Chains A and B, each alone.
Chain A
């Protein structure tokens, strides 16, 4: 079993839809959780950062962490074509190394 599992998609939604992206993990020592966004031919950029369990909201984006279920989610409200990208979840036990999911390719159609 991989430490971090992420459905690669692809996921295609109409503009304005609510998007839900998810990762599961097996290492209960993970305590820092991140979502990165990667546009085609670009490097990943940090989108959301969460420590431990709970929710965090930033504009149209909400990150949720459920440590009891070893499950994290990213919700995108009112999705826009500019949100079309690959979304990578990443996690750390606090040793400054990240374990990444394989990424989910999202396309938002106008």
Chain B
């Protein structure tokens, strides 16, 4: 089974609809992230959470909200979807702080398979 799963994998919706994208992980990581990927713009951070009670906005949080239901679950909501939110959405996780310096992998993020969202 995949360590980071996302549901749904594909979604087509209409302008104004509320949409929720879900992410689950079995890696035991504390930190979880939501990104969107657009052609020519790369990966941009929407929200991130360092533990269940710590949620932070990323560079493009307007129009989005999140919920960290448990250590393993992090959901992204679009309260009222608009066409320019059409994109590929990725969830990622990273581990708890390890040893500092050479060889530390605590910054490494592990990505889910993505959700392709189309807003008509």
Does chain A bind chain B? yes
Given A51-B102, A88-B42, A88-B43, are A44 and B111 also a contact pair (CB < 8 Å)?
yes
Docked complex Cα distance between A42 and B41 (Å): 17
**0 or 1 for each of A58-99: is its CB under 8 Å from B? (1 = yes):** 000000000000000000000000000000101010101110
On chain B, the number of residues with a Cβ less than 8 Å from chain A's Cβ atoms is 27
CB-based closest 3 A-B pairs:
A43-B111, A102-B42, A92-B107
Instruction: Say whether A46 contacts B110, CB under 8 Å.
Output: yes
Docked complex Cα distance between A43 and B113 (Å): 5
Instruction: Say whether A43 contacts B107, CB under 8 Å.
Output: no
Instruction: Say whether A52 contacts B102, CB under 8 Å.
Output: yes
Instruction: Say whether A102 contacts B41, CB under 8 Å.
Output: yes
Within residues 53 to 107 of chain B, which ones have a CB less than 8 A from any CB in chain A?
A: 90, 92, 94, 101-107
A34 at interface by CB-CB < 8 Å: yes
Docked complex Cα distance between A50 and B97 (Å): 16
Q: How far is the CB of A23 from chain B (nearest CB, A)?
A: 11
Residues of B within 8 A of A46 (CB): 108-110
Residues of B within 8 A of A101 (CB): 42
